[in-house]
Structure 1
Amino acid sequence: MKTLFNTNFNWPVFLGISIVIRVIFIGMSWISYFSILLALHQFILLFNAIGFVIPVRYLFGAFMCVQFFVGPSLAYNGLDQYQYFHYKMKIPEHEYFAYAIPAVMSFILGLHSFAGKLNGEIIDEKQIILFVNRNRQLPYWFIGIGFVTSVVAGFFGSELAFVFFLLGSFKFIGLFLLVIGTRNLKILPLVLVISSIVGSSLVNGMFHDLLTWTIFIGSVFAIKYKFGLNIKLIGCAAFIFLVLTIQLLKASYRDATGSGREEAGVETFSKLYAEKNRDKSIFSFDNLAPSNVRINQGYIITNIMYNVPALVPFSNGKEMYQVFEAAIMPRMFAPNKLNAGDRTIFMKYSGLRIRQGTSMGLSSLGDAYVNFGIAGGCVFMFLLGLLYSGILNIFYKKSRDYPALILFTALVFYYPIRPDCELQTILGHVVKSCFLITVMILLFKSSFRVEKAPTQ
């Protein structure tokens, strides 16, 4: 728990921002304000960690707070009126937060249990440099493998394609190795890797991976170059601008490219930005308010809590069994297991109707409630956080012999840190990525092992 409370936390800054928020949102209810303060605590912890670690735990906390605290608080305190009726909060504010606050905080407490000094997130730069010096071509092999597997993944079925999808992320690990392990910045690999994630995001109209990998890449650069406060503030402002721009244009971009009116690419995105910003009002309140749903996974939780148990009984673990079966068992042994993007479970427990091809998830918070109710859901969320902390601890212990392993935590957790995803897909990603990394280490043990120099 030291990583939550016994840190060099800037309490005067926290207090100052808290007062500003209270003044700006003078009419905000106290329970919403309390949830905003909890979120602010996580944001400051994340900001402080940049430059020292790959901040998996703090990213988990910050992302959960955005989706389950910040978005819902804004919705309950005025922005709900700007939402399409399907996206409105379904139950009273106090009922929602009576579950959301303890459940999210239980998850965060689990994440930071047995965390040591952020075990599994601290890079041993000297050992990485030694590793790269001994394997000078390996980062380029990782980048090459990442590009090739990203291209061929679409030619395989979903189960095998997922393996290639994971291998496609090796290009980021290769980039991390080059950034940390070499003296001079390698511009060409950097441009190629960043261009690839920008290009794939524009082609698919999906930007989560772009934003997540941007954070991880920025974190690695901050570790390498020891970013100071001013650089971190500029980077934070630039990232917020990027997020807001994407959220405001995403729907229009998908509509334009999906209908065939425009080709997917930077040109179309820039054109839409120019059209939206003709009168310099792209970031006006009228544009921002309806976009609150993009950071409000809470509306789905309210639909679940409205529906269960009043209309649909608690699952009492049956649905969770399906989740773990889908995450762990290969389809050849469980042919009827849940599919990624399964609409049946979502519609049954949320009561929301979604079109074929639309993917929405109950989220880990929703699955916990559906199976175990409020109290049991909080216990489950704590255990889930504890599971993730345990995995990070395993990476920490193994990295003593295999220092490059720490960089692979980004590959394991870049998808699970998204609070809006289905739990079976999240856990499936964790299981398969850990299995893939284990096989890689076993096959190439001598290449990845770096012996520590004996102490004098």
Structure 2
Amino acid sequence: MNGMTIDKGLGYLIIIICVCWAYTQGGIFGSLGVGAVGFVVYDFITQKKVWLPIGELALLLGGLQWVISPFFSYMTDNNVYSMSQPCNEYMMYTVPMYIAFMIGYYVFRPSLQLSRIDLIKCCSTAERLSTILICIGLLFIFLPVSVSALLFIKTLASYLFFIGFIIRMYVKPEKSTMYLLLGLGIQLLNSIRAGMFHELLIWGIFMIMTWFNVNEVPLKKRILIFIMSFVGIFLLQTVKASYRQAIWYNDYSGSKVEFFFSLLVNNAININEVRSEKEETTIARYNQGWIISRIYNNIPQNHDFLGGRTYVDAFNSAILPRFLFPNKKGAGAQSREDFIEMTGYHLSRGTSMGLSILGESYGNFGLLGGTVFMFIWGVFIAKFISFIDRLSIKDFLWIMFLPIICFNLIKAEISMMSVLNWTVKSVLFVGVVIYLLRHLVMQLQPIVEKEDDDIYFGE
């Protein structure tokens, strides 16, 4: 108990120190922002006996990309993705909306207890189920698809690979470390093959958090692993540009794996030189604030507030079937048009960037309306996760597929249209997958006795 108290006290002390430092750099709103994100980071890392903290992860990524990265960006001389406003002014707009987002989520925060997930251990066919999901996912990971309409299905189906490994980690906790390394190792090879590492990072978070829960990893070890992960992400960021240049444009014909790790090891050995050279680039890469600040600079000075138009388009795009509404707006081209309209920044052909939910909320409703909307968005995420949790009362598989359903919901850099499109379609996809599994894999439901105050998972 004393150890837990010391850990908690140390965590709050670190947050207080960061807040005081932030005040000297960014004023009252800067210190509030850093303090709020610090609280989210601590809450996220210390989660125990809770199935994947999806909402907390959305808050964490939002805080890092909307508040922390912009904060550090003001201390660099990066001229490519520079901030368009002074630090105090940017934080004065951003921090109230972010805190409203936090309050909306935390007031209605769902409780995804691990006791429900533990019921999968009672399934006689759980191991068989995980094997099927891993094999299907692996097939779709390496399946070549040239038809654009099928790419979305391919992506969703390939993610079954990770769900299979997550189930395995719960069913065979003594082998969870092996499954963690095996799953992420295969995805790393796939990322090296394609030169795209985003999925590795997101699924890495999901699988590491699962590993934490399965093994009841203590707080100090969690913090150490997160620090090591940030170092790894930084090193990865330092080699991505050179690696992609070689395999995408220079027709590199050698071993991609060997080439990638040679770059990685070289940068790790020369970390001090690399840090001074790549630090600004890495901060800029994760800084969503440069886009948000352009929205602040452009609206309403050069363009009227959009009054919720992009949200109506997003809802229609996600809900209306294309075969009945062939002219409905899509996430790709429409997101690009909305970006140009809100920021006044013209993207080169073939380039796409996201506005972020926070930036889009300001562009539609202004500071006050945007703050209210961010509160509502936090409530929506909490209620949506609770909705999936309620579905799992009848079929516990729903809760296992939550990472796929919420894969875009947690992202801080994309538009509402991309979020809703993914979320709606992934719910339909997961529903179909669960239906098929129920008919192809028998006795998936754990058999438990039904009691008055217990959730019943039996047939």
TM-score (norm 1): 0.88
Say if 2:196 is the partner of 1:206. Answer: yes
Alignment of 1:208-357 (within 5 A): 208-262=198-252, 265-276=256-267, 279-282=270-273, 284-342=275-333, 343-357=336-350
Say if 2:392 is the partner of 1:399. Answer: yes
Distance 1:394 1:285 in 2: 47
Unaligned runs of 5+ in 1: 1-6
Alignment of 1:96-175 (within 5 A): 96-115=90-109, 118-120=110-112, 122=114, 124-131=116-123, 133-152=124-143, 154-158=145-149, 160-175=150-165
Moved more, 13-22 or 145-154: 13-22
Structure 1 residues 78-102: Cα deviation after superposition (integer angstroms, max 9, x where no partner): 22x2x124x1111232332222112
User: How far does residue 233 in structure 1 lie from its aligned partner after superposition?
Assistant: 2.8
Distance 2:54 2:113 in 1: 7
Query: Which of 448, 451, 459 is residue 452 of structure 1 equivalent to?
Result: 448
Whether contact under 8 Å (2:173, 2:215) holds in the other structure is: no
User: How far does residue 313 in structure 1 lie from its aligned partner after superposition?
Assistant: 1.6
> 1:28 aligns to what?
25
Moved more, 326-335 or 440-449: 440-449
Q: Which amino acid aligns with 1:63?
A: L
Distance 2:177 2:85 in 1: 51
Whether contact under 8 Å (2:15, 2:39) holds in the other structure is: no
User: How far does residue 152 in structure 1 lie from its aligned partner after superposition?
Assistant: 3.3
Equivalent residue of 1:341, what SS? helix
User: How far does residue 279 in structure 1 lie from its aligned partner after superposition?
Assistant: 4.2
Query: Which of 36, 52, 63 is residue 54 of structure 1 equivalent to?
Result: 52
> 1:71 aligns to what?
69
Equivalent residue of 2:142, what SS? helix
Whether contact under 8 Å (1:51, 1:227) holds in the other structure is: no
TM-score (norm 2): 0.87
Whether contact under 8 Å (1:56, 1:121) holds in the other structure is: no
Alignment of 1:388-427 (within 5 A): 388-427=381-420
C-alpha RMSD over aligned residues? 2.8
Distance 1:404 1:288 in 2: 42
What is the aligned length? Answer: 442
> 1:4 aligns to what?
none
Q: Which amino acid aligns with 2:163?
A: I
User: How far does residue 329 in structure 1 lie from its aligned partner after superposition?
Assistant: 2.4
Moved more, 99-108 or 225-234: 225-234
Structure 1 residues 144-189: Cα deviation after superposition (integer angstroms, max 9, x where no partner): 111222333623323x321221111111111111110135427886
User: How far does residue 249 in structure 1 lie from its aligned partner after superposition?
Assistant: 2.0
Moved more, 272-281 or 424-433: 272-281
Whether contact under 8 Å (2:120, 2:126) holds in the other structure is: no
Whether contact under 8 Å (1:121, 1:406) holds in the other structure is: no
Distance 1:235 1:412 in 2: 26
Distance 1:217 1:13 in 2: 27
User: How far does residue 74 in structure 1 lie from its aligned partner after superposition?
Assistant: 1.4
Whether contact under 8 Å (2:314, 2:417) holds in the other structure is: yes
Change in 2 beyond 3 A, CA 1:164/1:233? same
Distance 2:391 2:143 in 1: 31
User: How far does residue 336 in structure 1 lie from its aligned partner after superposition?
Assistant: 2.9
Q: Percent identity?
A: 24
User: How far does residue 27 in structure 1 lie from its aligned partner after superposition?
Assistant: 4.2
Equivalent residue of 1:400, what SS? helix
Distance 2:319 2:193 in 1: 31
Moved more, 20-29 or 250-259: 20-29
Change in 2 beyond 3 A, CA 1:235/1:383? same
> 2:455 aligns to what?
none
Change in 2 beyond 3 A, CA 1:415/1:204? farther
Unaligned runs of 5+ in 2: 453-459
User: How far does residue 272 in structure 1 lie from its aligned partner after superposition?
Assistant: 2.2
